[in-house]
């Protein structure tokens, strides 16, 4: 029976781990867990006899694939697969998958939570503002953005979205107003929430051309990836728009500098934790296990990304 490695530098919740184990045991699969590892060599050693691996943000690069001679499938329990070298996966005849939608509600709740936290001055007791009646613009309209829209509409926000890969009816069906230019996302939003993947095309795409357009007191929300931000432009917008604020689950490389300069106008989670809920871990972990079983039993390659 196939051997499955679950390699999570940032572990799943304990109850999610039990459920993933039960799923694999039901299918008669062998498994082992590598959690909280501190060096990539530990991952590479663990990959030596794995035929399948479930990961989170763990790095599957050329070196990792070279250490995994028996590997047939890697499933990223989550949405973003920028941590997998897809070319290397293909070159090693490994199928790469993600589990779209499974952890999205958790990330959306964190995005909204950070908006409330900054609107209320980090709960310091001083009079803040409400989200109700404000305009929220979403850059990208995938799973997380749709959950954000649903919660934001419940709060009473006016929600717009821009997604160059989608037709208007997808947004309209969710009660969200479609935008037709990325500039409008940055011009219109009181809150601007980023929901695009990190790819060659999107790296540093949130640049000065876009950031220069934001309202004086706009709040930028990033639960996506730090790589999509042009960090020099971010510093510039803080300097030029005196009430601009930034909340992020994926702190920029220059976070220490920004925190020192603008302590009241930023919030960064200490460690990326958008998907850190028991529910998200369970949903994504079980989906990953099921996808591996369906792949070996039926050749099912739904959710293949390479
Ligand atoms: C994702 O892409 O699914 C999220 O960013 C969550 O990532 P994580 O599993 O590393 O927390």
- DSSP code per residue over 130-159: -STT-EEEEES-SHHHHHHHHHHHHHT-EE
CB 84 within 8 A of CB 289: no
Same domain, 40 and 156: no
Same domain, 217 and 111: yes
**Cβ 306 under 6 angstroms from ligand 1:** no
How far is the centre of ligand 1, averaged over its atoms, from the C-alpha of 127 (Å)? 34
Count of structural domains within the chain? 2
Question: So what's the pLDDT on residue 283?
Answer: 98
Question: What 3-state DSSP class applies to 57?
Answer: coil
**Is 288 among the domain residues?**
yes
Q: DSSP secondary-structure letter at 73?
A: E
How far is the centre of ligand 1, averaged over its atoms, from the C-alpha of 305 (Å)? 16
How far is the centre of ligand 1, averaged over its atoms, from the C-alpha of 248 (Å)? 14
**Is 303 among the domain residues?**
no
**Is 9 among the domain residues?**
yes
The CATH number of whichever domain residue 43 belongs to comes to 3.40.50.720
**Cβ 79 under 6 angstroms from ligand 1:** yes
**85, two tokens:** 């070298």
**Cβ 293 under 6 angstroms from ligand 1:** no
Question: So what's the pLDDT on residue 155?
Answer: 98
**Is 252 among the domain residues?**
yes
Residue nearest to atom 9 of ligand 1 (CA): 56
Query: Cα–Cα distance between 82 and 131 in angstroms, integer?
Result: 32
Residue 176's nearest CA partner among 110, 216, 187, 189 is: 189
**Is 81 among the domain residues?**
yes
Instruction: State the sign of the Cα–Cα–Cα–Cα dihedral 291, 297, 300, 306.
Output: positive
**Cβ 195 under 6 angstroms from ligand 1:** no
Cα of 128 vs its chain's centroid, Å: 28
How far is the centre of ligand 1, averaged over its atoms, from the C-alpha of 133 (Å)? 30
How far is the centre of ligand 1, averaged over its atoms, from the C-alpha of 276 (Å)? 8
Same domain, 109 and 75: no
Same domain, 150 and 17: no
**Cβ 57 under 6 angstroms from ligand 1:** yes
Same domain, 260 and 286: no
Same domain, 34 and 144: no
**Cβ 281 under 6 angstroms from ligand 1:** no
* Residue 67 CB neighbour total at 10 angstroms: 17
CB 3 within 8 A of CB 31: yes
**What's the pLDDT tens digit per position in 19-40?**
999 999 999 999 999 999 999 9
Same domain, 206 and 98: no
The runs of H, that is alpha helices, within the chain are 14-26, 40-46, 62-66, 86-91, 104-119, 143-155, 168-173, 182-188, 208-211, 231-240, 255-261, 278-298
Question: So what's the pLDDT on residue 10?
Answer: 97
Strand partners, 41: none
Question: So what's the pLDDT on residue 64?
Answer: 98
Question: So what's the pLDDT on residue 157?
Answer: 98
Same domain, 16 and 144: no
Same domain, 96 and 132: no
**Is 31 among the domain residues?**
yes
For the chain, the residue count is 306
How far is the centre of ligand 1, averaged over its atoms, from the C-alpha of 78 (Å)? 5
Question: So what's the pLDDT on residue 256?
Answer: 95
Same domain, 249 and 123: yes
Residue nearest to atom 2 of ligand 1 (CA): 80
**Cβ 285 under 6 angstroms from ligand 1:** no
Same domain, 18 and 74: yes
What parts of the chain have a pLDDT lower than 70?
none
**Is 304 among the domain residues?**
no
Parent domain of 70: 3-102+276-298
How far is the centre of ligand 1, averaged over its atoms, from the C-alpha of 265 (Å)? 25
Instruction: State the sign of the Cα–Cα–Cα–Cα dihedral 277, 280, 283, 289.
Output: negative
Query: Cα–Cα distance between 171 and 7 in angstroms, integer?
Result: 36
**Is 46 among the domain residues?**
yes
Same domain, 189 and 47: no
């Amino acid at each position: 029976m196939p051997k499955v490695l679950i390699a999570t530098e940032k572990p799943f919740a304990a109850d999610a781990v039990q459920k993933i184990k039960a799923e694999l045991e039901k299918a008669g699969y062998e498994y082992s867990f590598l959690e909280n590892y501190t060096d990539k060599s530990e991952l590479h050693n663990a990959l030596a006899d794995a035929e399948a691996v479930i990961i989170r943000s763990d790095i599957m690069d050329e070196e990792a694939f070279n250490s995994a001679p028996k590997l047939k499938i890697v499933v990223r329990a989550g949405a973003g697969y920028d941590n997998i070298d897809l070319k290397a996966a293909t070159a090693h005849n490994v199928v790469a998958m993600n589990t779209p939608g499974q952890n999205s509600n958790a990330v959306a709740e964190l995005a909204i939570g950070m908006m409330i936290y900054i609107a209320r001055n980090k709960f310091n007791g001083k009079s803040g503002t409400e989200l109700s009646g404000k305009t929220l613009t979403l850059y990208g309209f995938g799973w997380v953005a749709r959950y954000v829209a649903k919660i934001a509409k419940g709060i009473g926000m006016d929600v717009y979205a821009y997604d160059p890969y989608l037709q208007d009816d997808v947004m309209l069906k969710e009660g969200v107003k479609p935008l037709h230019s990325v500039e409008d996302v940055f011009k219109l939003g009181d809150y601007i929430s980023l929901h695009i993947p990190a790819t060659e095309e999107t790296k540093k795409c949130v640049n000065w051309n876009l950031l220069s357009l934001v309202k004086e007191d706009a709040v930028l929300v990033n639960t996506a990836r730090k790589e999509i931000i042009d960090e020099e432009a971010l510093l510039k917008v803080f300097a030029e728009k005196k009430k601009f604020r930034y909340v992020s689950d994926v702190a920029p490389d220059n976070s220490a500098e920004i925190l020192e300069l603008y302590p009241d106008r930023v919030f960064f989670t200490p460690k990326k934790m958008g998907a850190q809920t028991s529910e998200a871990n369970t949903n994504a972990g079980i989906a990953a296990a099921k996808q591996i079983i369906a792949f070996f039993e039926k050749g099912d390659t739904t959710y293949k990304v390479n």
